[in-house]
Amino acid sequence: MAINKLRDLLDAGEFILAPGVFEMFSARIADRMGFKALYMTGYGISVSHLGLPDAGLATYTDMVSRAQTIAAGTQTPLIADADTGYGGLLNVRHTVRGYEAAGVQGIQLEDQEMPKKCGHTPNRRVVPVQDMVRKIEVAIEARRSDDTLIIARTDARAGLGLDEAIQRGRAYRKAGADVIFVEAPESEDEFRRVGQEIDAPLLANMVPTGKSPMLSAETLTSFGFRIAIYPVAGVSAACAAMDRAYRHLRQHGSLIGAAHDTYTMQQLHELSGFQEVWEFERRHAEV
C-alpha cells in the first residue's frame, strides 16, 4: 500500500512521471525505482490478463481486481485507468468507490462512447460534453476522500479536432476534475496549446510510436504539464524481451549463448518474495 499521497505531490508542484504497470512483476520492478507514481494501464491489463485488445472488453471486475492486487503489493501511489466508468452514472459511482477502496489514488475517466478504444487507435467517438460533465460530478460526489484524484480524459482530438478537445478540457476542469488529460495531441505545438489554454494540472500520455511525439519531462513541464504516463513502457519492453528469448530457444534448442538480458533465479526469487517464505519457515520449523 502506498506510503505517500499523490495529491500532496501534485500540490507541492512536483512533476510526476509514472511508468505503466500491468501485473505484479512489472509493478514490483517499477515500485523499486523511485517513481512518484505508477500507472495501471488498461491496454496492458486487457492484453496480458485477457489476451484481448483494449477495446472496452475488460470489465470493471477485471480492472478493479488487478488494481487491488497492484496497490496492495506496492508502496508507490497508483493511478488507474477506469475507461468510461463502465456504464452510466450509477456505474461511475460504483467504479470510483471500488477503485478507491482498492487503494487507487488517481482514477482516470474518459469521454468516449462505449465500447471505448485505446487512445492511439482510430475511430474513437466521444459522448456529448454535458454527459461527461455529469460523470465528473458524480465521481467527485462518490469519492470518500478528497485525496483521491479524478482525472478527466477527452478523446475529442481525433474526431473533432484540438479546439474541441481544449474546450472539453476547460469544461471538465470547471466541473471539478482534479487533472485534465487531453489524449493524443499530434505535435509539440499542440501540446503547447493545451498547456497555454487549459488552466489545470495536465497529464500527458507518452506512447512511443503512437500518435503523439515523444517530449521530455523538461519540455512538458515548461508547457504546464504536471504528470506524464508511459503506459506501454513495460509491456512493450517485456514483449520484445520474450520474443528474443523464445526465438533463441526455438532456433537453438536451448538458451546457451542467448544474448538477451535476464534475471537470475535468485533475482526472481527475491522479486517474488521468497525471502519472507523462507524466514517464516525458519522461524516455525519443527524441532
Q: Which residue has the cell 488487478?
A: 66
For the stretch 74-112, pLDDT in tens is: 999 999 999 999 999 999 999 999 999 999 999 999 999
For the stretch 51-66, pLDDT in tens is: 999 888 899 999 999 9
Q: To 10 degrees, the CA torsion angle through 179, 180, 185, 188?
A: -50
Cα dihedral across residues 178, 182, 183, 185: positive or negative: negative
**Identity at 152, one-letter amino acid code:** A
For the stretch 225-277, pLDDT in tens is: 999 999 999 999 999 999 999 999 999 999 999 988 899 999 999 999 999 99
pTM of the model: 0.93
Note whether 142 and 93 are within 8 A (CB): yes
Q: Which three cell numbers stand for residue 173?
A: 476542469
Note whether 64 and 99 are within 8 A (CB): yes
Q: What are the structural domain ranges in the chain? A: 6-238
**What pLDDT score was predicted for residue 108?**
98
Q: Does the domain spanning 6-238 belong to CATH 3.20.20.60? A: yes
For the stretch 187-221, pLDDT in tens is: 999 999 999 999 999 999 999 988 999 999 999 99
